[in-house]
Structure 1
Amino acid sequence: MAYLYGMAIECGSEIKAAEQIQEHFKTMDLILLNNKISTFTINLEKENKDYGEISWWVNIYSNEFQTGEGSPEIARVLYKTLETAPNFRFAIVGVEVLLFISFEDISNILNDPSCVAKSYGGLVLSKSTILGTQSESLFEHFSDNYVWMLNRWRG
């Protein structure tokens, strides 16, 4: 069975923010160690929440559709590109990460450091979101306005 490996970026309620992120990632390709070229599919998706709010997502998937070989390389290029991306609320890389977590879930998750450490490696959040939470010490600098959990894919 094939699994989609990629990055989900939650951009909030404004479609313009999501469109800017989508544009930022459009020209990304990667030559893997086995000399295969990994291209990416970039989708804009609208999430309608039960309470009437909307969230816009940019979902970027490797066209390799793999979970094994090449995944660290793919993650590295996704995170490297994210470092210079326009504003977003949060992002995460992994297998089938679309709607894996919502922005509303984050405040609860951040109050349980063991859950964050165990289940959310690679989560990128704005510095303002993490400030003052019980999990603040688990996150490291990612870029000017963002922090992340673990840096196993940093190149």
Structure 2
Amino acid sequence: MAWIFSLSAECGSDESTAHKFAQHFIGQIFILSNGSSCLCHVDTFQDIESNWWCRVYPNNISEVGINSPESAYLMTELGILLYQKLRLAPPFRYALVGVEVDEFRTYSELIEDLPNLSIPGLVLSQIIEQEVATLPIFRQFSSGYIWQPYQGEIYNPLMVSPELKTKLDELFVIS
């Protein structure tokens, strides 16, 4: 099973808005510090509430998640580049960069959870902020948008190492 690193943006109920958003990223190439280039692919889809999403997924990046400190570093670097490009993107309602962030919240779930929701990297349209109280950790992202500042990707050895997980499980066995 692939674990995709991407930028996912919810664009509302108008399909053309998602397609305009996608056009902003399609074919974009990011050059990372290790010299690799990442070409952005995009797709659009509808969620269960009939709202449109755009997924931006660069190639040449791990598809098994964050399996080393180096992959966490490269995904963080790519995340920063995606957020920089997002600042100039056509309108969207909310967005997030990370591993497996597709449809991380439907619009109604987001509105319900928002007063207590802490997701570093979450970008919100200020229209949403006017509808619902947000936490004070939100900062200005760009004109018309706020965000909880991105904290980068994290390497967690227990998530990728069966050997370490087994050793940890052994700690919980009472003799």
Shorter-chain TM band: 0.7 to 0.9
Residues 132/45 of structure 1: CA separation in 2 closer, same or farther (3 Å cut): closer
- More off after superposition, 32-41 vs 58-67: 58-67
DSSP 3-state at the match of 1:20: helix
- More off after superposition, 59-68 vs 73-82: 59-68
Question: 1:27 deviation in Å?
Answer: 3.1
The CA distance in 2 between the partners of 1:3 and 1:64, in whole Å, is 13
Determine if the alignment matches structure 1 residue 59 to structure 2 residue 55: yes
For residue 115 of structure 2, the aligned residue among 111, 118, 124 is: 111
Amino acid at match of 2:130: L
Higher relative helix content: 2
Amino acid at match of 2:115: N
Q: Structure 2 matches for 1:13-92, cutoff 5 A?
A: 13-47=13-47, 49=48, 53-66=49-62, 67=66, 68=71, 69-92=73-96
Could you say which residue in structure 2 is the equivalent of 1:6? 6
The CA distance in 1 between the partners of 2:124 and 2:16, in whole Å, is 19
Identity of aligned residues (%): 30
The CA distance in 1 between the partners of 2:133 and 2:126, in whole Å, is 14
Query: TM-score normalised to the size of structure 1?
Result: 0.84
Alignment root-mean-square deviation, CA: 1.8
Question: 1:2 deviation in Å?
Answer: 4.2
Tell me if the contact between 1:3 and 1:65 (Cα under 8 Å) persists in the aligned partners. Answer: no
Higher relative strand content: 1
Amino acid at match of 1:131: Q
The CA distance in 2 between the partners of 1:100 and 1:122, in whole Å, is 12
- More off after superposition, 35-44 vs 61-70: 61-70
Question: 1:7 deviation in Å?
Answer: 0.6
Structure 1 residue runs of 5 or longer lacking an equivalent are none
Structure 2 residue runs of 5 or longer lacking an equivalent are 153-175
Residues 34/98 of structure 1: CA separation in 2 closer, same or farther (3 Å cut): same
User: Which of these two proteins has the greater Rg computed from alpha carbons?
Assistant: 2
The CA distance in 1 between the partners of 2:111 and 2:29, in whole Å, is 34
